[in-house]
A and B are shown apart, each in its own frame.
Chain A
Amino acid sequence: MKDNTQGVPLPIGEGLGERPAGVDIKAFLDADEQKSLLRLLTAGSVDDGKSTLIGRLLFDSKKLYEDQLTALERDSRRVGNAGAGQIDYALLLDGLKAEREEGITIDVAYRYFSTNQRKFIIADTPGHEQYTRNMITGGSTANLAIILVDARTGVITQTRRHTFLVSLLGINHIVLAVNKMDLVAFSEEVFTKIRDEYLALTSQLGIEDVTCFPLSALEGDNVVDRSERTPWYEGPSLLDFLETVPIHRDRNMQDFRYPVQYVLRPNLDFRGFSGKIASGIIRRGDEVVALPSMKRSRIKSIVTYEGELEEAFCPQCVTLTLEDEIDISRGEMIVRPDNVPHIGRSFETMLVWMDEEPMDRGKQFFLKHNTNTTRATIDSLQYRVDVNTMERLEGRDFRLNEIGCVRITTAKTLFFDAYTKNKATGAFILIDPITNNTSAVGMIVRPLEMEDINQADVPTLDLPYLGIGKEHYEAIDRAVKELSQQGLEIKVIK
C-alpha cells in the first residue's frame, strides 16, 4: 500500500467569525473591506516550535475548515511528531511531499488568515543555516518579524543570525517570542534574562522596535488570549499585538520616486507613464523631472481605471500624464526636481549570495533594479560578514548563503537610494546570464561616484530621418528592447 503522506490538501482557511446580531450585512462587509494588511516573517528552527506557533494562531482564531481539521487529525496520527492523541500543528504548514518525508520545511511557504482587525500574510521560513536564502526571500516584503527562541536555551547563535538578517532586510518591527515557557515553569526570571540579553543585541544592531512575549505555543499561553499562568506579564497577547501594531508610517512618504514601468499610448492624444509609486506622494500640478533626461514638466493627470485622482501615494499603481511632451521609456524615473535620488553607475552594496554556484567575479551579471535591467560586474569585495557573530571577515568570493559588502558597476545609469532610506529604490537582484537564475540580491549602501548625467551619451536612431517606414517600427522596437535587456541602450525617435 502506498503511504499517502500528502493526504487531502490542507489550505489554510479564513472563516471570519460571525456577524454580530443586529449589524446590517452591507455595513458589516463595508467595515470588513477596510482592514489593513500586515505581512510577517517567522524565523526559528523546527525545535523552537515555529510551525506549532503558526498552527496555533490559525487554530485558536478558528481559521481552519472542518475538512482541514479532519485531515490534520488523520495526518497527526499517521506521521505526526506530537505524541499520541496530540495534534501536530506543524503538519498544517509543511506543504510538499518531499518535505514531509524529510520532516522539515524547505522553502518559503505563505499562510493567510484574518481577524476583524487585519489581514495577515505569514511568510514561513526554515531556520537552518543552509536556508538563509529562504529567510531572505520570505522577509523581503515583511513589515514585522517574529523570532522564536526556546525558553530553555535562550538567545543562541541562530537567534543572532536571524536578527542580523532581519536588520539587513530593514524590517521595522521585531517580535521576540520566548516559546516553551511551560517547560521553565513560566518563570519571570528566565523570561527577563532572555529579554534583556536580546535587547542588548538589537540595540547593537540599531533596531528600535522590539517587543518580547512569554509564550507556550503548544499549550496556547499568550498566543491568542492572555495566560493566567504568567500573572507577572502585563503586555497584550501576541495576536492582540499583531492586530494593532501601527505599520502605515513605515513606508517612505517623503521622497517621491516613480520608476516608469510601461508606456501607455492607446491613441495619438494620450501618452501615459504607468508604474507603481515606489515611495512618496504625488499631486496633480506638481512639478517633476524625468531621469536621466532631466527634462522638467508638471503632472497633468493621475489616471486610473476608475478615473482621475487628485493625489496618489506609494504603493499605488497609476498612470501619469505630463503637461509637456517628454519622451520617457521604461526604466527611467520621474521624481521631484528638489528631491532626486543618486544617479550613477557605481555603488557599494550589501550582497547575499543565493546561488548554489559560488560567485565568479569575472562574470558579467544582469542587474535588475526596479524596472531597469542592465549588465553589471562585481568590481571588488570589501568584506564578508560572519552571520553568527556579525564580525567582518576578509573578502573572498561568496558561496551560497554568504553575505558581505561589494562594489558594483553597471552598464546603464541607475537612479537609486540607500536601502536603509528607501527599500524600493535601494534593492536589486543579480541574474546569472547563462542559467538565468537569481544569483544574488543586494541592498545598496552608498553611491561611489556622481556621474554627470548630461554626459550620458545614448546612441540615437531617428527613424523618419533615416527614411525607415512605419511597417518596420515593430521589428525595430523588438530589437531595441532585446538590446536594452543586454544592457545596451538606444534611443529611438519616431
Chain B
Amino acid sequence: MKEYSLTHLQELEAESIHIIREVAAEFENPVMLYSIGKDSSVMVRLAEKAFAPGKVPFPLMHIDSKWKFREMIEFRDAYAKKYGWNLIVESNMEAFNAGVGPFTHGSKVHTDLMKTKALLDALNKYKFDAAFGGARRDEEKSRAKERIFSFRDQFNQWDPKNQRPELWDIYNSRVHKGESIRVFPLSNWTELDVWQYIRLEKIPIVPLYFAKERPCVEIDGNLIMADDDRLPKELVPKIHPRMVRFRTLGCWPLTGAVESNATTIEEIVEEMMTTTKSERTTRVIDFDQEASMEQKKREGYF
C-alpha cells in the first residue's frame, strides 16, 4: 500500500501556506514585512505559492533604515520587479536627515529610531491590521513562546503574559479597531530548514550570503564590512580584504560577517550543520541591553 506522508519541509510548507491564506481571508488590510534576508525570501516564496496561479493579494513592505547593504537594496528592487510585487518602502526620514546612524548614535538609538519607530509609523500610516514577519521560534528565547498570530494592542505592544491560547490550526484573528496581529508563518522553521528549503526550491537570495573576498574591519570583535563611505575615517586604514559571508543581514555596521569559504548553497547548508555558533552571535543589536529582544518585542519591534 502506498504511504501517504510528507517530509518535514513539506509539512512546514503546508502549515505556512495555510497561515498566509488565513490572513488574506480574514483581514481587511494585511501587509508582508520584507527584510530582504533569507527568511523573508522564503516567506515571500510561500506567499507566491499560496495564491498561485493568482497574484498575492497584499503588498510587501520594507522598512529601510538607510544603512542596509547596497546589495540588499539592489536585490529587493530586482526581485519585486521580476515577480510583480507591490513594494512599499518606508523610512524614518526625520531621523535620517538629523544624521542618526549607528556610528554616531550607537546601535540602540539607531535601532529604536530607524527600525522600531519607522516600522510603527509605517503600520499606522497605512492602517495595516495584520503584518507578516519572518521570525522563527528557534531564533531567540522570547520568540520561542510567541504565538503564530501574535496580538498587538493599539500601541503595538506585545504582552507575553497575556497571550491568546492558540490551538490546532485555528487562528483567532479578531481585533478591535486600532489593534493588530503580527503573523509569523515561519514560526516552526529552523535556520537549517530555511536553508534546505532555499536549496530545494532554488529561491533567489542576496549574494552576501555566499563567501567572497570583502573589505572588512574588526569592530568590538565583529567583522564589519565597509559597505559605503560612512565608515568613520579612523577605521578606514584598518580595512582588510577577508573571505567572508553573512549568516544574517541587517544594517551593515551592525551585522558581523563570518569567515567562510562556502560559495555554493550546498556548502552553506553543510556549514550550518557543523557550525558551533548560533546565528544571532552575528547581530550586534541583541547584546546592547539586558533582555534585549524581549524588551524590543514588547515595544513593538518584531
Contacts and interface: CB of A to CB of B under 8 A. Distances in A.
Interface of A: 2, 4-19, 25-26, 28-29, 32-37, 65-68, 95-98, 106-112, 114, 118-119, 121, 133, 136-137, 140-141, 248, 251, 253, 261-262, 264-266, 270, 272, 274-276, 281, 303-305, 313, 315-317, 319, 330, 354, 366, 368-371, 423-424, 427-429, 431, 436-438, 441, 478, 485
B153 to A, nearest CB: 11
Given A6-B290, A29-B199, A264 B176 contact: no
Contact of A304 (B49, B176, B200): B49
B71 interface: no
A133 B24 CA distance: 28
A316 B14 contact: yes
Contacts, number: 234
Nearest to B274: A18
Nearest to B286: A9
B4 interface: yes
Given A313-B4, A316-B14, A15 B167 contact: no
Most central of B165, B280, B286 by chain A CB within 10 Å: B165
Given A17-B274, A98-B160, A305-B49, 4 more contacts: A276-B17, A305-B48, A438-B164, A485-B174
A125 to B, nearest CB: 11
A37 B12 contact: yes
22 contacts: A4-B291, A9-B292, A11-B138, A19-B270, A28-B270, A29-B270, A33-B9, A96-B141, A96-B142, A107-B160, A108-B145, A136-B165, A141-B168, A261-B21, A276-B14, A304-B49, A317-B13, A319-B52, A330-B25, A371-B22, A436-B175, A485-B174
Contacts of A98: 160-161
B193 interface: yes
A2 B292 CA distance: 13
B14 A96 contact: no
Interface of B: 3-15, 17-18, 21-22, 24-25, 28, 48-55, 137-142, 144-145, 160-161, 163-170, 172, 174-176, 187-188, 190-193, 196, 199-200, 266-267, 269-270, 272-278, 280-281, 286-287, 290-294
A33 B196 contact: yes
A16 B294 contact: no
Contacts of B266: 25-26, 29
Chain A contact residues: over half helix, strand or loop, or mixed? mixed
A441 B14 contact: no
A96 B165 contact: no
A110 B187 CA distance: 9
A16 B48 contact: no
Contact of B169 (A11, A262, A276): A276
B172 A438 contact: yes
B241 to A, nearest CB: 27
A436 B165 CA distance: 12
A29 B53 contact: no
Given A66-B276, A248-B5, A436-B174, A133 B165 contact: yes
Contact of A29 (B10, B15, B17, B196): B196
A111 B5 contact: no
Nearest to B275: A15
A303 B14 CA distance: 14
B280 A11 contact: yes
B187 to A, nearest CB: 8
B302 to A, nearest CB: 14
Contacts of A66: 276-277
B193 A119 contact: yes
Contacts of A251: 4
